[in-house]
């Protein structure tokens, strides 16, 4: 036969039909093996099951501990060895998993050194530490009657498919695991909050709950996304100011340790982001890290810098992946709680049905036993010679009474009756038998009631769990909303800015001999540059950057800075008029050139000054002489020029040629006081109209704050100021304003009132109530005419009418150290500050500035593209008296001689 006739088609692997030899390509083998490996790791090692919230190794550890449970502690080494009957992956993985379960302080009662989650220290060797199951675990996790069993990996033993956990264990403990191409991160939640949330689910309500971390700290769950992929949780350490030179970290973010936190602080210090003199770690049972600040460093600014540049703030990305029906599934924590609650309800129902069956069996046999003995049926079997005759005789004797039983009598029932001993028959007490049957009937009735009202039964079950095991499990992590910290505002100056005006370079790596020092800055700052040709550019600082020749000013630029005002006079075109303008640069596109003139060729800057607080100087404009010109110089006061956007054309100074512009007099700020608000959500100050309005502040104005601890503090008006959580009063400080306070004297148990003023000299936290134990601040106000209503407890069965006390008349103004005056000798029940009409504050006078602008035809709008224009800066202008100071010029003021 020819080769064509003998040709037989083969399959894709090259196998010939009917052949005993099978060919498998290597790529196919790897594909199958990889999928098998990935599936095994996902299902059997890394990801927990939704049914009981446990990974296989955790489930096997708990099952082994239950088998060994005798109420005493067991060596962990022994527990590991026993678990190896069920877990095929060695002692190391079992030991690590056992320690992790123990450190969660829920299922395992630990004894010995189990490590420290705060410091990151590991546990002692397995032979030195001991463990046993907690009472909570024994009650909630195990029930042999409702457990499904399967063969262990070697077929020699039985292990649970899932443990019958009647609690949202996975949400309480959390879980982390990395599989092949898959990972899970479920954050731990608070025990009591989960119980309450489960109760709300049972009642058909939608619960809201957030993670709670064992390390404490503060957390922002604004973007939690129900724990699913794409969500983010911001967690911060708790930092307190011990004094102006020391910060104390006393709670750390979840996922960090004191060692890793200190290491991150040291790295930030080495990189120049922060300035720290010394760090002390005094952590033992509780976290205590002391951060000693370098000289001249603001503690408020340092707190923000620690959050911005170190692990004092971390972001956690949750990813709730679980195994359900042998498949990985991504679900939210709300659905996870719903599944757990439904499973708990199902398990409780199974337990009740099992208990009902057991009680009915007990009632059935107790009734049979009573009939068997009272009706003397046992005597009828004396003449029987075979087992069959005995069974038949007993069946026949019981037949008249079967109608009163819950089910038919079986041979097994009869066999049990024949096993009753003569001693029991002779001592049979009919009354006790009736009492037992009655008790069983009551229990059966109760179980049936619970089955009928299963949801109510489950709610009581959860309430009982909270009552028995919820004490001491209060929330540790405070839920807060964080503000965004701009790194450029809190970074310390770790570099020096230099400028080469001739060649047009800026940076911190320029040669000192060829450049001019500008200022200290950080390596993440933006630099603003103005050139003689009227161009402006903002760029990120580097070692060396070319920004164009003819630099007249370079400095650090802060986004959103409305108080730094630039004063310029420029020539509009080669032969154009001289124009004047004032503007602030609040926001731009980085590395884009902006034309501050009106775009005409030959435009140039005649005069420039940068004013960090909106100062307005007086300059003398010298004109080029010509026959028709009567005056060759004129004075210009920048205070008469309105602050507008950088894209504005400006006002005409003169149409004559300008020879030079020289500063004549220094000026003071034309900006009004800054308006400040207090955002009580994030406990921070702001100037963006968020929260409670505090007032308008100038440089030396202070903020008065009172805390529940009985302390008051005078703060500066910096927006970076941090406030403690127990804040009860905050407002602009006015020295003449009287503070009225009522406090409970802890030693005498009596209430006192006091009135005092606070002078501007106070800088540190000052206590104004006695230091005795249990003394507490009851009320504080700065109203001009406070009146309180006092109600009393009953005494000797008589009611006492409430009293109103005018505190202004009741007590005079004294020093803050004065004890005050006792309100009443009677036992006070409640003190209420009565509402009154709001007292009008004296408004600060603000004078208007009227600008003499050039006519519209002299200021064509087409000079600046519409996209580059900014709205007028929202600043209140107040004309100030100009004080002559250093007429020859000062730093950041540029005078160009144009001759």
Provide mean pLDDT across the span 64-84: 94
Q: Mapped to the 3 state alphabet, what secondary structure does 718-775 carry? A: CCCCCCCCCEEEEEECCCCCEEEEEEEECCCCEEEEEEEECCCCCCCCEECCCCCCCC
Within this chain, do residues 694 and 775 fall inside the same structural domain, yes or no? yes
The pLDDT of residue 31: 64
For residue 465, pLDDT beyond 90: yes
Q: Distance of alpha carbon 458 from its chain centroid, rounded?
A: 32
The answer to whether residues 94 and 84 touch, using CB atoms and an 8 Å cutoff, is yes
Q: Distance (Å, rounded) from C-alpha 205 to C-alpha 203?
A: 6
For residue 163, pLDDT beyond 90: yes
Considering only residues 178 and 551, tell me which one the structure prediction assigns the higher pLDDT. 551
Within this chain, do residues 74 and 58 fall inside the same structural domain, yes or no? yes
The pLDDT of residue 836: 64
The answer to whether residues 308 and 487 touch, using CB atoms and an 8 Å cutoff, is yes
The pLDDT of residue 601: 86
| Residue where a domain terminates, one of 133, 165, 197 | 165
pLDDT tens digit sequence for 344-383: 999 999 999 999 999 998 998 888 888 888 888 888 888 8
Helices 76-83/56-68 angle, 10° precision: 110
| Residue where a domain terminates, one of 165, 192, 222 | 165
* Token pair 């099951």 in the structure block, residue: 49
251-276 as b/e: b if 16+ CB within 10 A: bbbbbbbbebbbebbeebbeeebbbb
Provide mean pLDDT across the span 315-328: 90
The pLDDT of residue 40: 60
The pLDDT of residue 449: 94
> Between vectors from CA 720 to CA 717 and to CA 726, what angle results, nearest 5°?
85
For residue 39, pLDDT beyond 90: no
pLDDT tens digit sequence for 99-113: 999 999 999 999 999
What global pTM score does this model have?
A: 0.74
Structural tokens at position 642: 């309105």
Q: Binning pLDDT at 50, 70 and 90, where does residue 759 land?
A: confident
Backbone angles phi, psi at 598, to 5 degrees: -105, 20
Q: Distance (Å, rounded) from C-alpha 491 to C-alpha 482?
A: 19
301 three-class SS: helix
Residue 466: count of CB within 10 angstroms of its CB: 17
Residues whose CB falls within 8 Å of the CB of residue 620, separated by 6 or more in sequence, listed in order:
633, 634, 635, 636, 661, 662, 663, 664
The answer to whether residues 342 and 419 touch, using CB atoms and an 8 Å cutoff, is no
Q: Distance (Å, rounded) from C-alpha 49 to C-alpha 328?
A: 9
Within this chain, do residues 504 and 580 fall inside the same structural domain, yes or no? no
Within this chain, do residues 689 and 821 fall inside the same structural domain, yes or no? yes
Structural tokens at position 782: 């700065």
Distances in whole angstroms, Cα of residue 630 to Cα of each of 202, 469, 571, 666: 94, 96, 21, 27
Within this chain, do residues 654 and 694 fall inside the same structural domain, yes or no? no
* Farthest CA pair distance, the chain: 158
Q: Distance (Å, rounded) from C-alpha 649 to C-alpha 644?
A: 9
Residue 755: count of CB within 10 angstroms of its CB: 20
Q: Number of helices (H) and strands (E), helices first, in the chain?
A: 18, 49
Within this chain, do residues 571 and 548 fall inside the same structural domain, yes or no? no
The answer to whether residues 666 and 886 touch, using CB atoms and an 8 Å cutoff, is yes
Q: Binning pLDDT at 50, 70 and 90, where does residue 19 land?
A: low
Q: Distance (Å, rounded) from C-alpha 652 to C-alpha 858?
A: 8
For residue 186, pLDDT beyond 70: yes
The pLDDT of residue 44: 66
Q: Distance (Å, rounded) from C-alpha 890 to C-alpha 893?
A: 6
Which residues lie across from 324 on neighbouring strands? Answer: 327
Provide mean pLDDT across the span 835-845: 49
34 occurs within a structural domain: no
244 occurs within a structural domain: yes
Structural tokens at position 861: 């709008």
Whichever domain contains 48, its CATH number is 3.90.199.10
The pLDDT of residue 35: 67
For residue 874, pLDDT beyond 70: no
For residue 487, pLDDT beyond 80: no
Residues known to be catalytic: 128
DSSP state of 527: E
Q: Which helix (H) or strand (E) holds 136?
A: helix 135-140
Provide mean pLDDT across the span 400-417: 84
Within this chain, do residues 151 and 266 fall inside the same structural domain, yes or no? no
For residue 624, pLDDT beyond 80: yes
485 occurs within a structural domain: no
Best CA proximity match to 465, nearest among 248, 715, 193: 193
488 burial (CB, 10 Å; 0-12 / 13-18 / 19+) is: middle
Provide mean pLDDT across the span 677-691: 84
The pLDDT of residue 37: 63
For residue 497, pLDDT beyond 60: yes
Distances in whole angstroms, Cα of residue 66 to Cα of each of 72, 108, 141, 245: 12, 11, 10, 54
Q: Distance (Å, rounded) from C-alpha 523 to C-alpha 508?
A: 8
340-352 as b/e: b if 16+ CB within 10 A: bbebbbebbbebb
Within this chain, do residues 48 and 147 fall inside the same structural domain, yes or no? yes
The number of folded domains in the chain is 6
pLDDT tens digit sequence for 225-240: 999 989 999 999 999 9
5 occurs within a structural domain: no
Within this chain, do residues 873 and 889 fall inside the same structural domain, yes or no? yes
Structural tokens at position 129: 């530490």
Q: Distance (Å, rounded) from C-alpha 460 to C-alpha 97?
A: 33
Within this chain, do residues 462 and 358 fall inside the same structural domain, yes or no? yes
The pLDDT of residue 74: 95
11 occurs within a structural domain: no
Whichever domain contains 267, its CATH number is 3.30.1360.40
Q: Binning pLDDT at 50, 70 and 90, where does residue 325 land?
A: confident
Using the Cα atoms of residue 684, residue 686, residue 688 and residue 692 in order, give the sign of their dihedral: positive
Residue 426: count of CB within 10 angstroms of its CB: 8
User: Could you list the residue range(s) of the whole structural domain that residue 549 is in?
Assistant: 493-557
The answer to whether residues 173 and 137 touch, using CB atoms and an 8 Å cutoff, is no
862 occurs within a structural domain: yes
Within this chain, do residues 694 and 780 fall inside the same structural domain, yes or no? yes
Residue 783: count of CB within 10 angstroms of its CB: 17
Q: Which helix (H) or strand (E) holds 223?
A: strand 218-223
241 three-class SS: strand
The answer to whether residues 643 and 583 touch, using CB atoms and an 8 Å cutoff, is yes
3-state SS of the chain: helix, strand, coil percent to 5?
30, 30, 45
276 occurs within a structural domain: yes
For residue 891, pLDDT beyond 50: no
pLDDT tens digit sequence for 413-452: 888 888 888 888 888 888 888 898 899 999 999 999 999 9
Q: Mapped to the 3 state alphabet, what secondary structure does 648-713 carry? A: CCCEEEECCCEEEEEEEECCCECECCEEEEEECCCCEEECCCCCEEEEEECCCCCEEEEECCCEEE
Residues whose CB falls within 8 Å of the CB of residue 567, separated by 6 or more in sequence, listed in order:
580, 581, 582, 607, 608, 609, 611, 616, 617, 638, 641
Q: Distance (Å, rounded) from C-alpha 571 to C-alpha 657?
A: 9
Mean residue pLDDT across the chain: 84
Task: Find the range with the poorest average confidence among 57-61, 260-264, 596-600.
Answer: 596-600
Q: Distance (Å, rounded) from C-alpha 232 to C-alpha 319?
A: 10
| Residue where a domain terminates, one of 402, 436, 469 | 469
The pLDDT of residue 859: 35
For residue 6, pLDDT beyond 60: no
* Token pair 């967690």 in the structure block, residue: 235
The pLDDT of residue 799: 81
The pLDDT of residue 646: 85
Helices 56-68/91-103 angle, 10° precision: 80
435 three-class SS: helix
Within this chain, do residues 730 and 658 fall inside the same structural domain, yes or no? no
Structural tokens at position 49: 């099951």
798 occurs within a structural domain: yes
Structural tokens at position 376: 């003397």
Q: Which helix (H) or strand (E) holds 467?
A: helix 454-469
């Amino acid at each position: 036969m020819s080769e064509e006739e003998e040709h037989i088609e083969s399959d894709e692997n090259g196998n010939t039909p009917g052949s005993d030899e099978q060919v498998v390509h290597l790529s196919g083998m790897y594909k199958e093996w990889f999928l098998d490996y990935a599936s095994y790791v996902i299902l059997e090692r890394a990801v927990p099951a939704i049914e009981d919230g446990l990974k296989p190794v955790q489930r096997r550890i708990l099952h082994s501990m239950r088998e060994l449970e005798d109420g005493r502690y067991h060596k962990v080494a022994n527990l590991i060895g026993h678990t190896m009957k069920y877990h095929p992956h060695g002692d190391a993985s079992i030991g690590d998993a056992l320690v992790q379960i123990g450190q969660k302080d829920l299922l395992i009662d630990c004894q010995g050194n189990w490590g420290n989650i705060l410091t990151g220290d590991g546990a002692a060797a397995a032979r030195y530490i001991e463990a046993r199951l907690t009472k909570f675990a024994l009650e909630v996790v195990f029930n042999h009657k409702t457990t499904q069993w399967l063969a262990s990996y070697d077929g020699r033993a039985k292990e649970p498919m899932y443990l019958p956990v009647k609690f949202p264990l996975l949400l309480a403990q959390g879980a982390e695991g990395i599989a092949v191409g898959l990972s899970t991160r479920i954050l731990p939640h608070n025990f009591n909050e989960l119980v309450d949330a489960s109760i709300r689910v049972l009642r058909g309500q939608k619960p809201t709950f957030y993670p709670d971390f064992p390390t404490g700290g503060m957390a922002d769950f604004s973007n939690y996304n129900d724990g699913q992929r794409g969500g983010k949780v911001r967690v911060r350490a708790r930092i307190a100011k011990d004094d102006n030179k020391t910060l104390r970290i006393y709670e750390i973010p979840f996922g960090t340790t004191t060692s890793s936190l200190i290491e991150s602080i040291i790295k930030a210090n080495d990189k120049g982001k922060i300035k720290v003199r010394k760090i002390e770690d005094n952590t033992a049972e509780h976290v205590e890290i002391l951060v000693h600040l370098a000289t001249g460093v603001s503690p408020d600014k340092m707190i923000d810098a620690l959050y911005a540049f170190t692990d004092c703030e971390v972001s956690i990305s949750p990813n709730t992946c679980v195994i359900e029906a042998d498949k990985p599934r991504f679900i939210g924590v709300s659905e996870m709680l719903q599944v757990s609650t439904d499973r708990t309800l199902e398990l409780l129902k199974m337990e009740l049905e099992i208990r009902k069956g057991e009680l009915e069996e007990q009632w059935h046999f107790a009734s049979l036993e009573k009939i068997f003995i009272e009706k003397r049926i046992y005597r009828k079997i004396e003449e029987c010679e075979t087992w069959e005759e005995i069974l038949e005789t007993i069946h026949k004797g019981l037949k008249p009474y079967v109608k009163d039983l819950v089910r038919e009598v079986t041979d097994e029932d009869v066999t049990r009756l024949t096993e009753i001993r003569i001693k029991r028959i002779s001592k049979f007490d009919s009354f006790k038998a009736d009492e037992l049957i009655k008790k069983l009937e009551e229990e059966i009735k109760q179980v049936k009631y619970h089955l009928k009202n299963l949801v109510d039964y489950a709610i009581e079950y959860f309430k009982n769990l909270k009552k028995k095991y919820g004490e001491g499990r209060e929330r540790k992590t405070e839920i807060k909303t964080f503000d965004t910290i701009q790194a450029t505002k809190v970074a310390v100056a770790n570099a020096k800015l230099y400028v080469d005006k001739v060649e047009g370079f800026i940076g911190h790596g320029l040669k000192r001999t060829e450049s001019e020092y500008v200022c200290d800055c950080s390596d993440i700052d933006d630099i603003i540059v103005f050139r003689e040709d009227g161009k402006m550019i903002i760029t990120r600082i580097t070692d060396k950057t070319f920004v164009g020749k003819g630099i007249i000013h370079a400095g650090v630029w802060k986004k959103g800075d409305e108080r730094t005002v630039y004063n310029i006079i420029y020539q509009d075109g080669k032969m154009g008029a001289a124009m004047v303008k004032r503007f602030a640069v609040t926001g731009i596109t980085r590395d884009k050139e902006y034309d501050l003139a009106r775009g005409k060729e030959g435009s140039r800057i005649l005069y420039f000054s940068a004013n960090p607080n909106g100062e307005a100087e007086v300059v003398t404009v010298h004109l080029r002489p010509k026959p028709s010109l009567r005056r060759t110089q004129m004075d210009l006061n920048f205070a008469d020029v309105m602050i507008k956007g950088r894209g504005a054309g400006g006002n005409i100074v003169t149409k004559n040629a300008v020879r030079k512009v020289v500063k004549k007099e220094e000026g003071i700020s034309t900006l009004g006081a800054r308006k400040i608000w207090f955002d009580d959500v994030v406990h921070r100050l702001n100037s963006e109209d968020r929260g409670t309005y505090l007032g308008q502040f100038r440089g030396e104005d202070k903020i008065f704050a009172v805390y529940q601890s009985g302390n008051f503090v005078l703060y500066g008006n910096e927006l970076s100021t941090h406030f403690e959580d127990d804040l009860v009063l905050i407002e602009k400080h006015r020295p003449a304003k009287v503070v009225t306070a009522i406090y409970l004297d802890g030693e005498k148990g009596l209430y006192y009132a006091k009135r005092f003023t606070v002078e501007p000299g106070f800088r540190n936290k000052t206590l104004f109530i006695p230091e005795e134990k249990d003394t507490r601040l009851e009320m504080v106000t700065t109203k001009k005419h406070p009146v309180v209503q006092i109600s009393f407890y009953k005494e000797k069965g008589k009611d006492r009418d409430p009293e109103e006390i005018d505190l202004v008349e009741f007590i005079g103004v004294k020093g803050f150290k004065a004890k005050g005056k006792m309100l009443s000798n009677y036992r006070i029940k409640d003190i209420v500050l009565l509402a009154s009409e709001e007292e009008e504050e004296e408004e600060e006078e603000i004078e208007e500035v009227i600008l003499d602008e050039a006519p519209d035809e002299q200021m064509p709008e087409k000079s600046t593209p519409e996209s580059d224009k900014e709205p007028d800066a929202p600043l209140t202008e107040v004309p100030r008296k100009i004080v002559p100071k250093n007429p020859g010029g000062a730093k950041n003021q540029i005078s160009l001689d144009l001759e």
